[in-house]
Amino acid sequence: MRSSAVLTAAPARSGIARAPRIRTAVLGMLIFVGAEVMFFAGLVSAFVIARSHALGWPPPGQPRLPIAATALNTLVLLASGGVLLSAGRAAATAFGRRRALRRLTAAVTLGALFVAIQGVEWARLLAFGLTMRSSQYGSFFYLIVGVHAAHAVAAIAALLHARTRLALGTLSADAFAAVRVLWYFVVGVWPALYVVVYLA
C-alpha cells in the first residue's frame, strides 16, 4: 500500500496476514464497472437498432435536443472528473487532506451541477412535448439519459460518503480509489452517450 498521511491503510481483518498486491476494492469496482459498460452497451445497441427502423431521426414533429447546452454541460462533468483526479493526487501526498477535501467538494459540486442542468433541460423538453411515451425518440432519450443520471446521483452519494469519511480520517486509500473509479466511469461514459443520443 502507498504510504500516506491522509488515508488509512486497508483495515487488517481477522488477524490473518493477507498481503494482497492488488487493491481489493478497486478490483471489485473495476469488475462492476465492466458489467455497467455492458449494460450501457446494451442500451446503445437497442438505440441503434430502433433508429435503423425509423424513417426519419429525430422523428418529425418531435422537439430537437439541446445540443449546444448539453455540450457545455458535458464540459462541466468532464471538469468534475478532472478535479476528482487531482483530489486523488492530493490525498496520496502527505498533509494533503484539506486540499483533497476541498477538491472532492468541488468535484461533487460540479457533478451535482451537471445533474441539475440535465434536470432543467428535461423539464423544458417535457414542456415542449417530448415524453417517454411520445415516440421511440423520447423513450430512448429519457431511458439512456435517465439511467445515466441515476448512476450519477448514486455515484455522487458515494462520493459524499467518502468525503465524510475522509474528513473523519477513516477513509482507506483503497476505498477512496474505488469510489473515484465509479465517478470516472460516470464521467467517461457520458461523452459516448452524448455523441450517440444527441449528435447521431
Partner 1 sequence: MSLPATAHDVGLSHEARSFWSRYVFSTDHKVIGLQYMFTGMVMALIGGFMAYVFRMQLAFPDQVVPLYGLVTAREYNALVTNHGSIMIFWVAMPVLIAGLGNFLIPLMIGCDDMVFPRLNRLSYQIFFVSAVILLLSLAAPGGGFGGAWTAYPPLSASAQYNHTPWGAPLWLLAVALEFVAFLLGGINFTVTVMNARAPGMTAMRIPIVVWMIVIASLVFMASVGPLVAGAVMLLLDQVVGTRFYDPKAGGDPLLWQHLFWFFGHPEVYVVLLPATGVVAEIITVFARKKLFAYKTILGTSIATGIISFFVWAHHQFVAGIDPRMAHLFTITTLLISIPLAEMMFAFIATLYGGSIELATPMLWALAFIAEFLIGGVTGIFLGANATDIYFHDTYFVVAHFHYTFFPIAIIATFAAITYWFPKMFGRRLNETLGQWHFWGTIVSFNAIFIPLFLTGAAGQHRRIYSYESFPQLSTPWLNQLAVLATVALIVLLIFQVIFLANFFWSMRRGEPVGANPWNANTLEWSAPSPPPHGNFATMPTVYRGPYEYGVPDRELDYWPQHVPS
Partner 2 sequence: MSGGGWRRRRVGSLVVATGLAMLGASATAVACPVCFVADERARQSFLATAVGLSALPFLLFAGIAYWLRRELARTAPRAGPAADDDASVR
CA 199 – CA 141 distance, rounded (Å): 12
Per rule CB under 8 A, is residue 195 in the interface with partner 1? no
Q: Which of 31, 67, 120, 192 binds partner 1 (CB under 8 A)?
A: 31
CA 168 – CA 4 distance, rounded (Å): 15
Considering only 8-16, 27-35, 65-73, 156-164, which stretch makes contact with partner 2 by CB under 8 A?
Answer: 27-35
Please report, as residue ranges, which positions from 131 to 160 form the binding site for partner 2 (by CB under 8 A): none
Residues 6+ apart with CB under 8 A from 151: 36, 185, 186
Per rule CB under 8 A, is residue 38 in the interface with partner 2? yes
184 binding partner (options partner 2, partner 1, none; Cβ < 5 to 8 Å by kind): none
- The interface mask with partner 1, positions 112-151, x = CB under 8 A, is --------------------xx-xx--xx--x---x----
Cell of 115: 445533474
CA angle 155, 39, 149 (to 5 degrees): 35
Per rule CB under 8 A, is residue 36 in the interface with partner 1? yes
Residues 6+ apart with CB under 8 A from 38: none
CA 196 – CA 188 distance, rounded (Å): 14
Residue ranges in contact with partner 2 by CB under 8 A: 21-23, 27, 30-31, 34, 37-38, 41-42, 45, 48-49, 51-53
